[in-house]
Chain A
């Protein structure tokens, strides 16, 4: 099962459409999409089931049940995938296509794309090739699972700052 999520802020037609095309060519692999508010002109996939929004509990359930997650390059999704050690394909939203306000998702993809189990597809064509590759050779269990908390040094710096105000 593939789980597609584009975050809750805005839809991502290019990705929803690209996965729809791929699913039509690969009918044996079921998929489910969380597409955010589509509006009257938004792309409505027909080759997989989808909803605009999911509750946090439903979102977690879909995430856990999926064998592969396909998503925009949002940090919430990336952190969730790393903490559940779930293989993830990210397609960055682009600023010039007005999919987000700038190209920060490209930067995210560049900086996180090298982690094991994380795949970057820079555009819709690359997505097809990436998905075909993953289906042919599923990623092994080499993903590192991250813990529940941030870098201990950061936590300690914050704790120190929070309590340092005491003496004043």
Chain B
């Protein structure tokens, strides 16, 4: 890097691409509460409910953000294996098209797939475990550990700790705050 001014110009020319993904319902509500963290970036939202699209468009307009792109994927859970495979394929297609610099998710299955595939495609990845998991990290969150550059819980007592103790426990997630 030659100097800061040049770096600044490059930042303006090539905004960061963010892909924010979650299943519908509570995970999506939590993801939306984080959205100001990627203000100024080019954002693509991915979820399983098409009805959320007007909300994100209206929010971007109201807060003077660039209109995000929006992708609807199929709904799937662990009892519907065929749907999980289809959902995973849809996410791969979206990632190849978007090539995000950063992928952020609050879970569950779609977020896990996005982080797994995103690591292969060299995105940087963030897992924020749902605040619903107050006594142990979600199963998908535990599995996402290997694919998450930033691996967070929303409960301090579940985290490995960073200050105070002798050394933080790397087998446990970090805690940086919560959506509430």
A residues contacting B by CB (< 8 A) are 7-9, 55-56, 74-77, 79-80, 82, 101, 104-105, 107-108, 110-111, 146, 148-159, 161-163, 165-167
Contact = CB atoms under 8 A, between A and B. Distances in A.
A107 B133 contact: yes
- Grouping DSSP codes into helix (H, G, I), strand (E, B) and loop, the A interface class, with mixed when no group exceeds half, is helix
A111 B178 CA distance: 13
B33 A79 contact: yes
Contact of B36 (A55, A75, A149, A167): A149
Contacts of B165: none
Minimum-distance CB pairs A-B, first 7: A154-B177, A151-B177, A76-B26, A75-B26, A158-B37, A157-B176, A107-B135
Interface stretch (B86-94, B113-121, B123-131): B123-131
Given A157-B177, A158-B37, A75 B24 contact: no
A159 B37 contact: yes
12 contacts: A7-B26, A75-B131, A104-B138, A107-B133, A146-B180, A148-B33, A150-B178, A151-B177, A161-B149, A162-B16, A162-B18, A165-B124
Interface string B95-120: 00000011010000000000000000
Interface of B: 1, 7, 11, 16, 18, 24-30, 33-38, 41, 49, 51-52, 55, 77-78, 101-102, 104, 124, 126, 128, 130-135, 138, 149-150, 152, 154-155, 176-180
A155 B24 contact: no
Contacts of A149: 33-36
A135 B102 CA distance: 49
- Grouping DSSP codes into helix (H, G, I), strand (E, B) and loop, the B interface class, with mixed when no group exceeds half, is loop
Contacts of B37: 154-156, 158-159, 162
Nearest to A109: B134
B30 A75 contact: yes
A13 B77 CA distance: 20
A69 B168 CA distance: 41
Nearest to B16: A162
Contacts, number: 120
A113 to B, nearest CB: 11
Contact of A150 (B7, B126, B150, B179): B179
Contacts of B138: 104
A151 B16 contact: no
A152 B177 CA distance: 8
Contacts of B18: 162
Given A55-B51, A149-B34, A157-B177, 17 more contacts: A7-B25, A56-B51, A75-B29, A79-B180, A101-B78, A146-B180, A148-B33, A150-B30, A150-B178, A155-B37, A156-B37, A158-B34, A158-B126, A158-B150, A161-B124, A162-B41, A163-B16
Given A108-B134, A161-B150, A166-B7, A154 B102 contact: no
Given A148-B33, A154-B177, A74 B104 contact: no
B17 to A, nearest CB: 10
Nearest to A105: B132
A154 B155 CA distance: 12
A150 B77 CA distance: 27
Contact of A79 (B36, B102, B179): B179
